[in-house]
Amino acid sequence: MPLEVKPRFVVLYGSQKGQAESIAEGIAEEAEEHGLVADLCCLNQNNKYNLEKERAPVVFVVSTTGDGEPPDNALQFVKRIKKRTLSPDHYKHLLYALLALGDTNYANFCNCGKTIERRLRELGARQFYPTGYADDGVGLELVIDPWLKGLWNSIKDALTKMASDRTVQLKEDSAKEIPESSLPDVQLNLLSIADKQICEPDSKYSSSLAISDVRPPPASTVSTSAPNTQACSEGFPQVSLAASLTSSLPPLSESSLNVPALPPSYLDVSLQEADTAEQAAERLSKESRYEVPISKAVQLSKGDSVKTALLLELDISAFPSMTYHPGDSFDVFCPNVAEEVDHLLHRLGLQDQKNHHVQISVKDNTKKKGAQVPPHIPENVSLLFLLTWCLEIRSVPKKAFLRALVEHTSDSAQRRRLQELCSKQGAADYNLYVRDASLGVSELLAAFPSCSPPLSLLIELLPKLQPRPYSAASSHLRHPEKLRFVFNVVEFPACSGRPAGRRGLCTGWLFDLVSPGLVFPEKAELALPKIHVSLRPNCSFRPPSDPSLPFVMIGPGTGVAPFIGFLQQREEERKENPEAKFGETWLFFGCRYRDKDYLFREDLENFVSSGTLNHLKVCFSREDRKDEEEPPSAAQPRYVQHNLLLCCRQVTDILLRQNGYIYVCGDAKNMAKDVNETLMEMIKIELQVDQLEAMKTLAGLREQKRYLQDIWA
Ligand code: FAD
Ligand code: NAP
């Protein structure tokens, strides 16, 4: 009897925020259902895998970060495979599949995945399944779901191919008298897989469940009646006339559902009474962050401006090592909103234990591959600290999270609706009511009152609370003891599932912190609170190292922030070195109204007066239109790109003939894309070339790091 060893494959991931990692984990977990076993590793754990000797299929799941950079934990791997000394058959033996995650709001979409794929091919590796390029800009699941669905049969085909290659090899080698016992197990097991027909066509959604099931049945669909035709349950109408977060209409309400596999639970969590009260500030400052006082807060927007823009100044004099350069950003660590934490404690039934210490360990018998206590949760923190500072409780729950919530929901109508929202058939409802509305777990629990998940589930499935980056809007040379930044307070409107609007987490928190001391115009000497920050140097978004080169800055709205730093720095350098030659500077700024949101107006006009800024081009998107019927254009500029077009000759001259630079900062979703299009048009006009040539020219500028973006969606 041959040993029942399951055929194995390898899953490698590179992940910045955990998304690629959780997809890779999902693949590894699902492997067993397909009669396979997966070795799961992070790309930086190169002592745990060896691609040079790997004879099993390899599945890569990699995200891209920043301006097309690999995630931190894939950097070394990418460097290694990029080595030009590697021979073209270095990975000849390798069969791979690759899922790349990216966001088309940014330049260099899926660049890390594309780079890895290009190098694997150049080094002789063969693809066994077409690469998936998932776009966070429109919803990762649009590509991921079908990609995962097709993956399993392809892995099995790849294993079969590898096994038959080996058989051929073995037959050839049999002349060399290799003993039969050295036949690989994988071949024997493959035969048994084929016999048992483990291949499940709809594997991603294979672990379907019926409403009352605890264990999933083998069938791949659930058929249950809908909430709007069911017996009335608390908080749910008997008949719904319109779909909403909590109720659906036919055909969805009558449809059989394919739901995702239940994510395996993997943490044991207990709460222990603590002797001493925990000091959150102490806990945070231990973690290599700077705790700095806010020395000034000024509202920059005026009157009934569409958005509220604030400038904050931090006093960094206590930390001489906190030097920064123009173009750098820094992270602000913000807590979750106290009322939301309180609501969550209440819903978990743990209000009385909020000061207890949380003890977390990995379950002995968990099926989760590579299970570990989440590294973003420090030891011995109180429950209150954990929910306030460690978990992004407002993050939009993934479908797997909704699937897990079903298990903890007692009301059958609510269970059904949660199933719908995570099902394949309910994808449009999920996007509309959960994803686009940016609902968090608190809001879901409010909408589904019979859902009572355990604390462990939240710790397992909520991501790390991320700090928010802000661009330095000052120069360290001018203000060695200060660091300024500017932001608009983000507003989320009320929607189905959120009866009242709310502010962005960090911008709302900062606004509340400083609003008692806010003055307009500038002057407040109230004692302002301290916040925790850490620096995030940006080595490419810097003024040209050769100051004699000209440069163009494009930054509408708060996107102007880093350019205030650039210009302050330039002004100081001009004072220090009046004889030096400085290149021309251009700034394209845009806002809605001259009198409401023209941020840094005085500073910009002063830069012009001092000769630091040679050309300031400002447009106002909601005024100054001569003919409202006419679309905006260079003749009637509304946005920065229209002014750019008006200066086509000078800007292209700087870029194409004077070796100059162009910088874009601000909104990635619309502005940066439109500016990119406009630059392409300008190159076409100036060089009299077609679209393809213009694209190549722009790509060349990017490569030379003379076209730089610092943008955010
Ligand atoms: P969150 O609570 O995190 O909410 C914002 C999120 O919600 C975004 O993902 C957004 O897409 C989404 N969203 C926004 N409005 C809605 C809505 N109505 N409905 C549904 N979803 C919505 N910002 C600045 O203002 N100034 C800066 O100088 C600056 N510099 C940055 C530098 C870098 C390198 C990066 C990456 C970002 C920068 N940002 C800057 C953005 C900043 O980090 C925050 O993302 C922003 O301030 C919002 O944070 P928040 O916590 O208040 O909002
Ligand atoms: P904003 O106030 O919303 O808009 C500024 C101006 O841009 C308005 O006049 C607006 O006009 C106009 N605009 C709208 N669509 C445009 C388009 N397609 N092309 C050109 N201009 C357009 O901007 P904001 O909120 O300050 O900043 C935008 C984003 O940038 C924010 O999300 C912020 O977080 C981010 N940001 C990122 C960085 C960074 O990555 N380093 C730094 C600073 C800010 P209308 O409204 O009239 O259409």
Longest dimension (CA), the chain: 91
For range 648-672, the mean pLDDT: 96
Comparing 459 with 369, the larger pLDDT belongs to 459
Residue 218 lies in a domain: no
CB neighbour list of residue 487: distance below 8 Å, 6 or more residues apart:
309, 310, 312, 470, 507, 510, 558
CB neighbour list of residue 113: distance below 8 Å, 6 or more residues apart:
60, 62, 63, 64, 98, 99, 100, 101, 102, 131, 133
Q: What is the pLDDT of residue 286?
A: 59
Tokens 């076209």: give the residue.
707
What confidence tens digit (pLDDT) does each residue in 378-387 have? Answer: 888 999 999 9
Domain boundary among 165, 195, 225: 195
What kind and span of H or E run contains 199? none
Residue 115 lies in a domain: yes
Tell me the three state secondary structure of residue 316: coil
Q: Is it the case that residue 196 has pLDDT exceeding 80?
A: no
Residue in 106, 487, 503, 558 to alter for ligand 1 test, most ligand atoms within 8 A of Cβ: 487
Q: Strands (DSSP E) along 75-213, which ranges?
A: 95-102, 126-135
Residue 185 lies in a domain: yes
Residues 619, 601 contacting (CB under 8 angstroms): no
Kindly report the backbone phi and psi dihedral angles of residue 536, in degrees, each rounded to the nearest multiple of 5, phi listed first: -135, 75
Domain boundary among 176, 195, 214: 195
CB neighbour list of residue 112: distance below 8 Å, 6 or more residues apart:
14, 62, 63, 64, 65, 68, 69, 70, 71, 74, 78, 100
Residue 58 lies in a domain: yes
Residue in 300, 308, 645, 671 to alter for ligand 2 test, most ligand atoms within 8 A of Cβ: 671
Q: Which ligand is nearest to the CA of 327?
A: 2
Q: What is the mean pLDDT of the chain?
A: 85
Q: Strands (DSSP E) along 8-155, which ranges?
A: 8-14, 37-42, 58-62, 95-102, 126-135
Whether ligand 1 lies within 6 angstroms of the CB of 470 is answered as yes
564 lies in which domain range? 551-712
For range 133-161, the mean pLDDT: 89
Closest alpha carbon to 297 in 54, 465, 563, 524: 524
Whether ligand 2 lies within 6 angstroms of the CB of 486 is answered as no
Residue 697: CB atoms within 10 Å: 21
The C-alpha torsion from 163 through 164 and 165 to 170, rounded to 10°, is: 90
What confidence tens digit (pLDDT) does each residue in 212-223 have? Answer: 222 233 223 444
Cα atoms in the Cβ-side hemisphere of radius 13 Å centred on 630? 11
Closest alpha carbon to 142 in 428, 400, 464: 428
Q: Is the pTM of this model over 0.75?
A: yes
Whether ligand 1 lies within 6 angstroms of the CB of 505 is answered as yes
Q: What is the pLDDT of residue 66?
A: 76
What confidence tens digit (pLDDT) does each residue in 247-277 have? Answer: 999 999 999 999 988 888 999 999 998 776 6
Read off the CATH number of the domain in which 144 is found.
3.40.50.360
What kind and span of H or E run contains 618? strand 615-620
For range 105-110, the mean pLDDT: 83
Please give the number of the atom of ligand 2 that sits closest to the Cα of 306.
2
Whether ligand 1 lies within 6 angstroms of the CB of 327 is answered as no
Pairing mode, if any, of strands 8-14 and 661-667?
Answer: unpaired
Residue nearest to atom 29 of ligand 2 (CA): 667
Pairing mode, if any, of strands 267-272 and 357-362?
Answer: antiparallel
Please give the number of the atom of ligand 2 that sits closest to the Cα of 622.
47
Q: What is the pLDDT of residue 223?
A: 41
Residue in 558, 619, 628 to alter for ligand 2 test, most ligand atoms within 8 A of Cβ: 558
For range 156-180, the mean pLDDT: 65
Domain boundary among 162, 195, 228: 195
Enter the tokens of residue 328. 């750098």
Q: What is the pLDDT of residue 142?
A: 82
Alpha-carbon distance of 590 to 66, in angstroms, equals: 24
Residue in 490, 536, 708, 711 to alter for ligand 1 test, most ligand atoms within 8 A of Cβ: 490
Residue 327 lies in a domain: no
Q: Is it the case that residue 54 has pLDDT exceeding 80?
A: yes
Read off the CATH number of the domain in which 676 is found.
3.40.50.80
Tokens 């969590």: give the residue.
269
Q: Is it the case that residue 91 has pLDDT exceeding 50?
A: yes
Whether ligand 1 lies within 6 angstroms of the CB of 485 is answered as yes
The C-alpha torsion from 670 through 672 and 675 to 681, rounded to 10°, is: -90
Q: Is it the case that residue 51 has pLDDT exceeding 90?
A: yes
Residue 377: CB atoms within 10 Å: 17
Q: What is the pLDDT of residue 215?
A: 29
Please give the number of the atom of ligand 2 that sits closest to the Cα of 307.
2
For range 632-659, the mean pLDDT: 91
What confidence tens digit (pLDDT) does each residue in 581-621 have? Answer: 999 999 999 999 999 999 999 999 999 999 999 999 999 99
Comparing 209 with 279, the larger pLDDT belongs to 279
**Judging by beta carbons within 10 Å of its beta carbon (0-12, 13-18, 19+), is residue 479 exposed, middle or buried?**
middle
Pairing mode, if any, of strands 8-14 and 37-42?
Answer: parallel
Residue 508 lies in a domain: no
Residue 404 lies in a domain: no
**Domain count along the chain:** 2
Whether ligand 1 lies within 6 angstroms of the CB of 432 is answered as no
Please give the number of the atom of ligand 2 that sits closest to the Cα of 558.
26
Please give the number of the atom of ligand 1 that sits closest to the Cα of 536.
34
Residue nearest to atom 39 of ligand 1 (CA): 470
Residue 99 lies in a domain: yes
Q: Is it the case that residue 163 has pLDDT exceeding 90?
A: no
Enter the tokens of residue 65. 């970060």
Alpha-carbon distance of 456 to 269, in angstroms, equals: 6
Please give the number of the atom of ligand 2 that sits closest to the Cα of 713.
32
What confidence tens digit (pLDDT) does each residue in 311-357 have? Answer: 999 999 999 989 999 999 999 999 999 999 999 999 999 999 999 99
CA–CA distances in Å: residue 246 to residues 222, 234, 349: 19, 12, 23
For ligand 2, the distance from its centroid to the CA atom of residue 183, given in whole angstroms, is: 63
For range 85-108, the mean pLDDT: 91
